[in-house]
Amino acid sequence: MRNILCNIINPLSDQQAEFLLNQIISIEADKIIAITPRKDFVGNELEDYSHCLALPGFIDLHVHLSQYRMRGKFEPALLPWLEKHVFPEEARSADMSYATELARMFYKALYQAGTTFAVIYTAPFESACEAAFRVAAEMGVKALIGMTMMDMNTPVALLQDSQQSLGTSIGLFERWHGQKPDLDYIFTPRFAPTCSFELMQRTGDYATRHKAWIQTHLSENTSEIAWVKELFGFESYTEVYAEAGLLTERSLFGHAIHLNDRELGLLKAADAKIAHCPDSNFFLKSGEFSLSRIEEIGLEYGLGSDVGAGTTLSMLYHAKQMNYRQGLFPVSPAKALYHITLGSAKLLGMENQIGSLQPGKAADLLLFSTPPGFDPGPDSLSQLIFFASEFPVEEVIVNGKSRL
């Protein structure tokens, strides 16, 4: 049992966040059991974090574990960047001991960044994905994890046989689905250019029948889009996935930048979800996410770091980038916070467990101290988002356990 005296910043909606001064968050086992104003608190076992801001743990909707170590390697666009930097680095994860060490390093960094739930791609090897699951289970990491699938247009070191790609994915799903409450499998065709139509179709069919999650990339870069149209002969990128049966309510598409109205309509009709990765989109000069159109049509989205094209795991940094990467559309701190916490929890169907600080929800919380001269107050959220690096993390708690 812990009683933490702190100041709470809580997301309420994409328009509103609340600031609550001098509150006591009571934690028992893995849950928040009460939030009480200091003046109403009875009891004396208090931990004094009154100089700190408490926020719910952050959610990263799109991140590549196996690319953690090649962040920041410049290339002018997506396709040459994949060839030159990503594929050689992912190939190293064929070695299980390398993949295991990397997973340890990655999860530690996730915790340090305050991410308490992540949706993860691993390298296209069973061993890499198995290692990612085992280490996650050992370190109490909450995540959806999937082995990247690729059976064409792929360097030999990463190329999978179509049968084996799906068979291995199903094996991993069967092994890990239902094993732990906060850890599950997500089917992960990399993107249309490296997946045969048949592989996508069979994956979509299996995942739909088993109510499993699917993730892939969609419409990131204009050369990629032209390539997809040429490869599959459909009118648009989204149509390839629609025809292959990959558009479901449990499908999470990374990027989704250059979509026409018809494509947006297809995504909306399927109730598909979007992971918006602003830092990555500008690192690779992919383009600007049409935030106002996505909101107008009512597509559910949340933020992803997209490490390794994203440069950091810090979701506060990506929240800031969400604002900066809109030319004309101001993104409020409350909206940015919502899309790294409660909004993403909702998108995942987990809003009763995670995403905000509330009695009954998991005790996933972050304690940041304010910089000298900045007292906790209603402007703290805005300041935290715009100069996060000056707010040291004092503690990261996941399921009631201190992880940092």
Q: What tokens appear for 87 in the block? A: 């594929």
- Least Å distance, CB 215 to Zn ion, is 9
| CB of 65 closer than 8 Å to CB of 101 | no
- Least Å distance, CB 307 to Zn ion, is 9
Give the relative orientation of helices 237-244 and 197-209 as an angle to the nearest 10 degrees: 50
Q: What tokens appear for 168 in the block? A: 């291995």
Nearer to Zn ion, 27 or 82 (CB): 82
Q: What tokens appear for 219 in the block? A: 């419409």
Q: Cite the beta strand spans of 181-268 per DSSP E.
A: 183-189, 213-218, 251-255
Walk across the sheet containing 251-255 and list its strands.
Answer: 58-64, 115-122, 143-149, 183-189, 213-218, 251-255, 273-276, 300-303
Say whether residue 220 binds Zn ion (CB under 5 A): no
Count of residues touching Zn ion (by CB under 5 A): 2
Give, as ranges, the residues between 306 and 345 that touch Zn ion (CB under 5 A). 306
Nearer to Zn ion, 168 or 216 (CB): 216
Burial label for 285, CB within 10 Å (0-12, 13-18, 19+), is exposed
**Nearest in space to 192 (alpha carbons), one of 183, 184, 202, 200:** 200
| CB of 168 closer than 8 Å to CB of 203 | no
Distances (CA, A) of 90 to 45, 79, 139, 171, 369: 49, 15, 22, 21, 37
Nearer to Zn ion, 267 or 393 (CB): 267
- Least Å distance, CB 47 to Zn ion, is 39
Q: What tokens appear for 3 in the block? A: 């009683």
Nearer to Zn ion, 214 or 397 (CB): 214
- Least Å distance, CB 189 to Zn ion, is 12
- Least Å distance, CB 305 to Zn ion, is 9
- Least Å distance, CB 191 to Zn ion, is 8
Give, as ranges, the residues between 242 and 281 that touch Zn ion (CB under 5 A). 254
| Helix ranges (DSSP H) in 311-361 | 315-324, 333-338, 342-347
Distance (Å, whole) CA 94 – CA 249: 32
Print the binding letters for residues 33-52 with Zn ion: x by CB under 5 A, - otherwise.
--------------------
Give residue for tokens 């094996």.
171
Nearer to Zn ion, 24 or 228 (CB): 228
- Least Å distance, CB 340 to Zn ion, is 17
Give residue for tokens 């169907």.
349
- Least Å distance, CB 70 to Zn ion, is 13
Angle at 300 between CA 262 and CA 189, to 5 degrees: 75
- Least Å distance, CB 374 to Zn ion, is 35
Q: What tokens appear for 154 in the block? A: 């792929």
Nearer to Zn ion, 53 or 78 (CB): 78
Nearer to Zn ion, 49 or 117 (CB): 117
| CB of 146 closer than 8 Å to CB of 120 | yes
Give residue for tokens 């000298």.
372
Print the binding letters for residues 292-311 with Zn ion: x by CB under 5 A, - otherwise.
--------------x-----
Q: Give the CB-side neighbour count of residue 390, counting CA atoms within 13 A.
A: 13
- Least Å distance, CB 281 to Zn ion, is 10
Say which amino acid occupies 253: F
Nearer to Zn ion, 49 or 185 (CB): 185
Q: What tokens appear for 42 in the block? A: 């009875």
Footprint of Zn ion (CB under 5 A): 254, 306
